[in-house]
Structure 1
């Protein structure tokens, strides 16, 4: 399910069953008449899913072999330089990795895209998340402040259309010359910039006017990889 980009609910909806039934399957307490439909939705062989027999996928099915990114989500494919295989343009969209470049003198900045690094997502997957492909960008996580959810070097997908703070959501922000990934919580008079690793990184409390003057919200995180 994780590799296919499914939650219990989205898988249940896709194959026409109750979410509670998916939960029981994960718990190992029952089988299902929907095994073939589930296997098709997840892109695996029904025999393997039901009994653990044979290969997980048929020969030729996609498997990521990029050890650097450690991304194995079948909702996307890794773009490899000089790869002769071209994804169907109607099915896939490339999302670039962002960098922040600061202009000298005036303190302004611009977001630039690495030309040699992008991930290829299924358009269907983005639509399920409510993300427009033109507003989808990638940002690399640095440091340990978002552990254990995000590790140093992980990649997150960012919806640049979502720049309004929704309490408890995670955002990519530009603060000075730093590109950061943080939880934002807005109060009437201040904004909290929060790390998941709160044992080592305390909350940052900023007056609202200073926050909106000094911090630029690039977008809300909608997806993440995870390095092991």
Structure 2
């Protein structure tokens, strides 16, 4: 079974980098890269995020061997992001605004927001970006992630985009859930008999949670995470 070190070495060779070249991109010594690849140590915190960025792959692929995202095309019109603008700035032809709930309080069983109209802050996305992700802007919302359970991929204060129309669980994908009124972002896996496994990236402090059908009564899937933004 391949380890993080095996995948890191495999990807480094695939994109044609030496250990020294990779070390300069990550900001560590070549000895450290060698130790990571041999499995003597593992990258932690921001080093994992920087390693994934340098290797043009996702942190979850490095950690768990899950599917790597395709490398963005160099001519992509808006690689995934959002822009913050003055509220009076007109929308461009390829722009749409999505509600940004900076502080989320959920009633048990409720979604991100029950109000029909939203007058708070919004983020602007490219329509083409959402279309590539299969996301309808009217079913999308952005929220803040709190806590360290999803570090290093999603540090405290990260922003995620949620497709509230996508509540069917695909194993290993990231979802926003309402757990007895608490907003949580987790990777979800279906279990035999109708149960559910919740996985965090920070498995050292947050081990997997196994919920049986009885405990699932306290969970509502808000939607699938289709985008996230991290400041490092």
* TM beyond 0.5: yes
Deviation at 1:208, TM superposition (A): 2.6
Gaps of 5+ in 1: 1-22, 29-37, 44-71
More strand by share: 1
Structure 2 stretches lacking a partner, 5+ long: 1-13, 22-72
3-state SS, counterpart of residue 123 of structure 2: strand
Could you tell me which residue of structure 2 aligns to residue 205 of structure 1? Answer: 210
Task: Provide the TM-score with structure 1 as the length reference.
Answer: 0.62
Asked whether the equivalents of residues 100 and 109 of structure 1 are also in contact (C-alpha less than 8 Å), the reply is: no
**Paired residue secondary structure (1:115):** coil
Q: As a proportion of its length, which structure holds more helix? A: 2
Cα gap change, 1:145 to 1:101, in 2 (>3 Å): closer
Q: Is the 8 A contact 1:100 1:110 kept in 2?
A: no
The CA RMSD over aligned residues, in Å, is 2.8
Confirm or deny: 8 A CA contact 1:79 1:118 kept in the other structure.
no
Higher relative contact order (CA 8 A, sep 6+): 2
**DSSP 3-state at the match of 1:201:** coil
Superposed displacement of residue 173, structure 1: 0.3
TM-score, with structure 2 as normaliser: 0.61
Distance in structure 2 (CA, Å) of the matches to 1:25 and 1:125:
29
Q: Shift of residue 163 of structure 1?
A: 0.4
Distance 1:26 1:73, change over 3 A: farther
Residue in structure 1 matched with residue 112 of structure 2 by the alignment = 111
Cα distance, 1:97 vs structure 2: 1.9
Check if 1:171 corresponds to 2:175: yes
- Secondary structure at the residue paired with 2:204? coil
Larger radius of gyration: 1
